[in-house]
Amino acid sequence: MKRTPGLRQLYNPNRFYTRADVRRLTNLGRELVNRSDDVAWVSRAECKAADPELFFSDAPGASKFAKMICSQCVVRTECLATALWGDERFGVWGGMDAGERRKLKSR
């Protein structure tokens, strides 16, 4: 897979994302989705060992715990990019919940 220089540095929950950053993430998501044969990044995800309900729960504190798992994941950039491209409206993806992703895309 072709890597965009500096893409790993794009993911930082405390960072202000520019429109160019969001565009780069979304383009990466499109590339990952279009390369359906290349799902190797999914097998390296930290969440694969966790209960999926944790990432899609409305229970108080669930998203905080899910984000903690994401913060230690090596493929959170790919996950966030895929969620942005696929316009995922539920759950925690790449360390961001649906509201945070909406805000990110609206910049």
Assess contact for 36 and 85: CB atoms under 8 A. Answer: no
Confidence (pLDDT) at 66 = 92
- Please give the residue that has the higher pLDDT: either 55 or 22: 55
pLDDT in tens, 56-71: 988 878 889 999 999 9
Question: Could you tell me the pLDDT band of residue 23, with boundaries at 50, 70 and 90?
Answer: confident
Residue 2 binned pLDDT confidence (cut-offs 50, 70, 90): very low
- Whether the pLDDT of residue 78 is over 90: the answer is no
The closest alpha carbon to 32, from 67, 71, 78, 70, belongs to 78
